[in-house]
A and B are shown apart, each in its own frame.
Chain A
Amino acid sequence: MTIEALLPLLLLLPLGGFLVTAFIGRRFGKSAHWIPVLAILVVWIIAMVAVANVLTGAAPLLPGSEDTHGYVAGPWAWIPAGDLHIDFGLVVDPLTACLLIVVTTIGLLVHVYSIGYMSHDPGYWRFFAYLNLFMFSMLLLVLADNWLVVFVAWELVGLSSYLLIGFWYRKRSAQLAAKKAFIVNRVGDLGFVLGIAAIVVNTAAAGHPTLNVRESIELLLAQGEANPIPLVVVALLVFAGAMGKSAQFPLHVWLPDAMEGPTPVSALIHAATMVNAGVYLIARANPLFASTPSAMVVVAAIGIFTAILAASIAMTQTDIKRVLAYSTLSQLGYMFAALGVGAFTAAIFHLMTHGFFKGLLFLGSGSVIHAVHEEQDMRRMGGLSRKIPITYATMFVGSIAIAGIPPFAGFFSKDEILGEAFKASFYWVWGVGLFVALLTAFYMFRLMGLTFWGSFRGPAAIWDKIHESPRVMTVPLILLAIPSALLGLAIGLPLGSSVLHGWLEPVFHHATELLALPHESYELFGVDGALILASVTVAVAGLVAAWRLFGVDLGRFRAPARPEDVRELSARPGLSFLYRASLNKWWFDDLNHLLFIVIGGRIAAAMWWFDREVVDGTVNAIGRQTVVAGRGLGRVQTGHVQNYALGIALGLIVIAGSYLILTGGPR
């Protein structure tokens, strides 16, 4: 039983789980989770074996490459249609392996968590069916070696996201959020499809049209300037797709609304897996981007702008899940900024660590919401640390990780991003990123302060009923807290040329060559050390500011919350505008509403008027004319014979007369 033969199982098991649960899951009732969870468990085992082999070099070399180890399955003929022949196969190279770690582990833990979280929901079986569908789509996305299959998986992932966001479909806000997510994704997908088309055009110009990812990128780079569609355009189109899926500005508006879905969905899709698809896409196409520095700058700019935009909004949100959603946006911005400055490994590193600690934070928030009986507003929480200790402890670990405090995972990945940005001379990215790190620490510990410390501000009846979540929910939390704490130490060391760097080097070396980045050795007591000091200082500063304003309670070290200071700060003249802007999400939703709903609605109404009055009017008028003409002509039929006879006589005169005139009379 070779690993290659087991690779298709990675796709078939979740698909099978989805189909079985979708069709007969309702009958299982409370046991509907067994098949999906077992399917994902087997997937996790196979994936971990494959990943281990690939990353340690035990796997065979990939065809067409001298240094990359991996597994290949297929190719299978997909569309054999005459001249158009599309094959696809599955590839597990080190990049896919890193993604697989995140996707399968967090997927499995979310499945287990959902057993507890969704236990009271009547749509229990539906939830697991959709989760399996999502796992199938995501795995297809990272395993595929063909652009078109990636696109199909892209769309499937979007579909699963729609189904899961709108899981409680009777709630109007959930319906709207699901539609919003799908539609905004679609805008990005348009760019992606155009990008794929551009790739086909370019490869066809080279004489060998292909949709295989590796081959097409090689061809595009080989052609260089001779590409009919410039590589910058192709890169930006592909980035447009990534923007939609990974919620970068201006397509970021769907992610906060997507919190309407159940919390496991937010954890899985909107923190750990789907939103990483955009990052994966750009990492996969890294040679293409590396050969177009202008596109890279765009990527970096949009990424870091999203980071600071989202972080600024997260500072004032009152819904616990919204804070985490904006935090996700911000961290995704970091990842794109990393990609944009050429730090591909750093971006993937942050993707992995972020997946774990954001997944942890979301699941933890789910546990909190469950504990306070479906209350999501942080203003009505507080003092929960005593009541739900396991949740509190794991979320504390997650917060420290995301704040970037060593030695937890977030510090390593975030610092690597900022360091690479600085050393690649993208000082503005470094500066903004540093500020965002400060904001990140601030809003995360604001969340902790409002939720877990201080005194409870909700209804007293709830306080007595608060209890810790069942083990099926807390065990995944603990299991996620471990990598949040230790992943950095595991693969981020030694600093400067980490283990992860070694794994991913074969995938990114072409890009690094193209970018001609300076290869200086790591100076812990030089530039790099100074950078580390800067980011740690900034993180601690944010943390301290949050503790000052929102309180802290760590056993002997405690300080009270100061809501009056918060109010006074937010009312100060310069800051009050920022406060209001942040609270209103910088009015982007209102802008979109104005542009598309109001103005678009007017244009649509005008079009409808045009269609109704002009187009239909013309058609109807022609019909009416026919009827009127018929009626008019019908008046010839008087029923009187003499009228008809007169007609005959006149006709005869006309014929005879014209004959006489035309032939000039008989002769």
Chain B
Amino acid sequence: MSDSLDTYLILSGILFAIGSFGFLARRNAISMLMSIELMLNAVNLAIVAFGVFGAGPDASAQGAVFALMVMAVAAAEATVGLAIVIAIYRNKKTPLVDEYDAMRQ
């Protein structure tokens, strides 16, 4: 089982699905951000799996390095995202996204 690429990819897919459900279904903005982190991790797993099982001498290293970059970017994105949520919270006094309706006509 752990020798086949399919396992890790399916795992990654299920985790991504879970993350997307959370993103679409939760009301709290922070929950949405947590779901985004889950999705990012799922993708990371897929990248590393492709790296490990890929052909070529440096494939696995390249996969891992790419995953490292993704992690750094995810950190940056989480920072900015949470800063935005905090800023909005200060204005709207609520972390619930369905009460942010300034974009509505």
Contacts and interface: CB of A to CB of B under 8 A. Distances in A.
Contacts of A641: 97, 100, 103
Interface in A621-646: 634, 637-642, 645-646
B104 A638 contact: yes
Contact of A645 (B23, B100, B105): B23
Interface of A: 634, 637-642, 645-646, 649
Contact of A649 (B20, B100, B101, B103): B20
B102 interface: yes
A640 B104 CA distance: 8
A121 B101 CA distance: 80
Interface of B: 20, 23-25, 32, 97-98, 100-105
B24 A639 contact: no
A637 B24 contact: no
B24 A640 contact: no
A649 B102 CA distance: 23
Contacts of A642: 23-25, 32, 97-98
Contacts of B24: 642, 645-646, 649
B101 A639 contact: yes
A637 B23 CA distance: 19
16 contacts: A634-B105, A637-B104, A638-B101, A638-B104, A639-B101, A639-B102, A639-B104, A640-B97, A640-B98, A640-B101, A641-B97, A641-B100, A641-B103, A642-B25, A642-B32, A649-B24
Nearest to A641: B97
B97 A639 contact: no
Contacts of B104: 637-640
A639 B103 contact: yes
A637 B98 contact: no
Given A639-B103, A642-B25, 8 more contacts: A634-B105, A637-B104, A640-B97, A641-B97, A642-B23, A642-B24, A642-B97, A642-B98
A600 to B, nearest CB: 53
A111 to B, nearest CB: 78
A660 to B, nearest CB: 14
Contacts of B25: 642
A642 B22 CA distance: 10
A500 B58 CA distance: 128
Contacts of B23: 642, 645
A164 B66 CA distance: 101
A638 B98 CA distance: 10
B28 to A, nearest CB: 11
B58 to A, nearest CB: 26
B80 to A, nearest CB: 16
B105 A637 contact: yes
Nearest to A637: B105
User: What are the 5 closest A-B residue pairs judged by CB atoms, nearest first?
Assistant: A639-B104, A639-B103, A639-B101, A646-B24, A640-B98
